[in-house]
Amino acid sequence: MVVEITKRFYPPKRILPIIYLLLCLALLTGAGKFAFYIRDLSRLADERFPVQSSGLSPCIYARPLVIHPGLDLLPEDLALELDFLEFQKKDVPDRPGSYSRTGGTFVLYDRKPVFADEPRQPSRVRVKIRNQQVTSLSDLDFGRSMRRFVLGPLKIGDLDPTGEAGRDPVSIEAVPEPLILSILAVEDRRFYSHGGVDFSAVFRSLAANVREGHIVQGASTITQQVAKILFFSGEDAFKRKMSEWLMAWVLEWKFTKDEILEAYLNSVYLGRSKLGPVIGFGAAGRYYFGKNLAELDWGEMALLSGMLKAPSGYDPVRNAERAKARRDQVLAILAEQGLLRSEEAASAKKAKLHVVPNAPAPRDRFPVFSRFIRGIVDDKKSAVGQGTDVFTFMDPVVQVRAQAAATAGLAFLEARRLLEKGSLETGGVVLSLPRGELIAMVGGRDPGRPWFNRAVSARRQVGSLIKPAVFLAALEDSPNYLLMTRLDDSAVRIENKD
């Protein structure tokens, strides 16, 4: 019997170094591509994260209202100013951003100032107005009179007019700590300790999903969610998840935890209004409750935090019962973690939702004035740094009064002279004396159509505005003209040969 033996093939020894070299080249190539991808992610984070994360674009502000004894001020004007600043009128002002009024006496519970030279806590201030003048100013918390009190300033618009109407970005310093604790309790308890990806949460969610047979629990950290929202929302699931992990590590490496959390607070989706998506907690607080974040109570903060799981499903406007149940669940979690006392959680659960859906405020409260300021800033880009806020002398009360007077005046003239309604237009500015500060601007009869500002862009006859220049030229020729010189004011006829 013949047995055929097949020998195993061994590559010649001279081929082994070539194989090792190829393997090393493949590993180096993969490592190089990975390094280049990380570099690209880092550049993308540098380019887009500071702009798109917080959305805190430079703003245009009106003048602050400095109240002091002796100031000429109408009670109606102070009430209008408080309305602009979104103070809530109550019988008893019990929280920052609220006030009460009895005739000419106002009690204000002020908010924590944003631009104060010296930081101070919110305080209760009483303002008394008699005969259109401030007669007394008192700090009710310390029981003493005040020399002055600064209210505002009011944000009247953004320097960037292209942002979304459903955003109201906030800085991390302006977010109350209970809201941050509530968000971390339901979304990412280990946010301040993990490096961008929480592997313990990954394994925990994997076990839960395998046990249930379908996805019942996620493991994305807040950092991963920021990466998804800002950079990878349109990619397929597997590639996006891998990119999220890598970008999360990049973001953690390049930015602080507070910067990442601020990005999340200002970019997360929290429902939809009639005008579009509600983006960020600042916009959500105003849309659902008509409040600043600092004015929210525990129940309202728990409701917004609970909406993160399913914004549409827990929308309190469309699904009030589900939203209330989710709010109560979050309150229970907070009590369980020791972040909220049990009696406080029970009290908050008994409260009604009190949702008052408000359409997001327009980015420009006074679009004519804002567009005028943007034009000035665009002409001086080299002098105005990027991210610089602009503070103006604009008086919002005077602005409203001037626009109302212009609109009513045109309607009166049209009716008196039997003209077609809407046929007349106007434009004008209001300046303060003696320094000539611009405090109001009327661009036309309709403030909602700011595209053509007749105050600065319309071409018109110069009229009597030319007289000071003519008189000055004559007075410079002093031997012939004096202030008492009589001039012939009779009509002049000039023939044009053409």
Cβ(59)–Cβ(389) under 8 Å? yes
Cβ(231)–Cβ(46) under 8 Å? no
User: Which residues partner with 126 through β-bridges?
Assistant: 107, 138
Catalytic choice (54, 182, 187, 267): 187
Cβ atoms < 10 Å from Cβ of 233: 9
Tell me which DSSP letter residue 167 carries.
B
Say whether 493 sits in a helix, a strand or coil: coil
Cβ(299)–Cβ(314) under 8 Å? no
Phi, psi at residue 102, to the nearest 5°? -130, 100
User: Can 300 be counted among the known catalytic residues?
Assistant: no
Is the torsion defined by CA of 36, 37, 38, 44 positive or negative?
Answer: positive
Checking 492-498 for CB contacts under 8 A at 24+ apart, the result is none
Say whether 66 sits in a helix, a strand or coil: strand
Rg, Å, the chain Cα set: 33
User: Which residues partner with 396 through β-bridges?
Assistant: none
Residue showing tokens 């081929």: 15
Say whether 439 sits in a helix, a strand or coil: strand
User: Can 200 be counted among the known catalytic residues?
Assistant: no
Tell me which DSSP letter residue 420 carries.
P
- DSSP secondary structure, 219-242, as one string: ---HHHHHHIIIIITTS-HHHHHH
The continuous run of DSSP H or E covering 109 comes out as: strand 105-109
d(CA 403, CA 405): 5
Catalytic choice (233, 382, 464, 478): 464
Cβ(460)–Cβ(443) under 8 Å? no
Beta strand spans in 386-437 (E)? 390-391, 428-431
- Catalytic residue positions, numbered: 187, 464
